[in-house]
Each structure stands twice: as structure tokens, then as C-alpha cells.
Structure 1
Amino acid sequence: MELSEIMSDEYDVLKKLYASLVDQNRYLIKREAFSLDKIVKVIESNSKSVAKCEIERRKITGNRSMREVIRESEDENLGKLYEEIVDILEKIQFQKDTNEALIKQWLGFTTQMLRAINPGRQPATYNALGRNK
């Protein structure tokens, strides 16, 4: 398989991964727990596909950096495709970070609600910020 074909396949899979992360974000905002369970499986599947593409690409490029490989090939389409992959990876990272922040916020809220419903036997103590310990 040629490098440009592998990178094209990788870009397509990365777009699917990004779309699934956007779906996850929508489900987090709407608090749709069952949809979140399903989307996790989709994200895992897409991540495995990205890893397979990455392995195929590394078989061709070896330990050399992609910028070096593209510079040596002097193929404009390959360079353009690489830039598109870098752009989608940045979007994926931002979306992943956003989703993680929402999940942490959910967990914090859930923990506080559980504490309120089932208080401990010891008296409440507060830290310097006025939060319950």
C-alpha cells in the first residue's frame, strides 16, 4: 500500500473519530447516559482503526519524522494531506479535552449529591474555599 493511500485512510478514520467525539459531547451536555455507553464503543473502535493505520504508516516511514518524509518526497498532495491530518488531530485533542472536563464536572456534581443524600457520621468541615471536605 502506498503512503498517500494509508494517510488518506488515516484521515478518513480520524474524521470519524472526531465526529464520534462531537457526538459524545452532545450526549454529555444532554446527559444521555445510554447514548454515552454506546458512543464509547464507537470511539474505541475508531481509535483502534487509527492505530492500525498508524502501524501501516510506520512500516513505510520507519522511525523518520513525517515532515522529513514529506520534504524528501516533494509530493504536494502528500504535504497537503499531512497538514489536514495535523489539523484534525488538533480538533480531536480539543474535543477530547472538552469532553474530559465535562465528565469531571459531572463526577464532581454526582459526588456532592451523594454526600448530600448520604452524609457521613462525622461533623462537616470546610476548607479555606468554603467547600465541604
Structure 2
Amino acid sequence: MLLELKHIMEEEYTVLKKLLEALREQNRYLVRREAFNLDKIVKILEERSKNVALLEMKRRKLTKNRPMREIIEEAKDDNLKKIYEDIVEVLQKMQFQKDTNEALIKHGMIFTHQMLRALNPNVEAKTYNSIGRSR
């Protein structure tokens, strides 16, 4: 079981690294505002995320949904522990990159919305809500 688990985790690590690289590429496209490349990278992100999910399901089936920390402590295998720590590190980097990309997307959407409001002003009478914003 440990040998198969180690193999699955190594494969999962390589797929996660590829997913992280795709997130970094998405970041570059967001910064450069390359809309067509962003459309392409979404498909790549979906495909790589699906691969990660498949490997995760394999691993959970093999470990019978037991926590990985518990399994690693019982195994006392330094190589397995190293792979697990590498996976955790990549996941943390991915979370940071994902949050950064989401912030860039949100910022771009707010900017676009403001530009559209400036280009096409509303000619109706302004009414204000309780917060003080116009409707």
C-alpha cells in the first residue's frame, strides 16, 4: 500500500506543479490584459484541476479517507513525508496565486464597470439609497 501511495503522491505532486505553472501563466495574461490567451488558459486550468481531482480520489480510496498526517506518522517513511511536505508547500503557493489572480480579475471588472458608467451615463433622475449611493 505504501509503495502505491507514494507513487500516487509523486504523480499528484507533478500535476500540482503543472497547475501552479498554469496559474502563474494566467497571472501574466491578467497583468498584460491578454483576453484571448486568458480564454485558452481557462481550459488548461480545468483540465489540470480534473487530473488533480482524479488523483485525489485514487489516494482517498487507497487510504480509506484517513488523514494523511496520521498515515505518514504510522509509516515512518522519510521519503513519503518529504513528498507530503512538498505537496503542502505547492498547495500553499497555489492558494496564494489563485487569490492574487482573483484580486486582479475583480480589479479589472471594477475598472471596466466604472469606464462603462462614464461612457454611458444614466440620464434618469438620481435617487440615493440609505448608504448614499445613487441608483
Establish whether TM, by shorter chain, passes 0.5. yes
Report deviation, 1:63: 2.0
Cα distance in 2 for residues equivalent to 1:121 and 1:27: 36
Aligned-residue sequence identity (percent) comes to 61
Instruction: Kindly state the Cα deviation for residue 122 of structure 1 after the two structures are TM-superposed.
Output: 2.5
Match in the other structure for 1:31: 33
Deviation for aligned residue 1:112: 0.5
Aligned to 2:72: 70
Structure 1, unpaired ranges of 5+: none
Hey, what does 1:97 align to over in structure 2? 99
TM-score, length basis structure 1:
0.92
Q: Distance in 1 between matches of 2:11 and 2:31?
A: 31
Return the alpha-carbon distance in structure 1 between the equivalents of residues 44 and 134 of structure 2: 38
Unaligned runs of 5+ in 2: none
Whole-angstrom distance in 1 between the partners of 2:114 and 2:83 = 47
TM-score of the superposed pair, with normalisation by structure 2: 0.91
Q: Runs in 1 of length 4+ with deviation above 3 angstroms?
A: 123-127, 130-133
Q: Matched residues in 1 for 2:101 and 2:49: separation?
A: 16
RMSD of aligned Cα (Å): 2.0
DSSP-derived class of the 1:2 partner: helix
1:131: how far off?
7.5
For residue 104 of structure 1, what is the amino acid of its counterpart?
A: K
| C-alpha distance in structure 2 between counterparts of 1:36 and 1:88, whole Å | 22
Q: Which residue of 2 aligns with 1:115?
A: 117
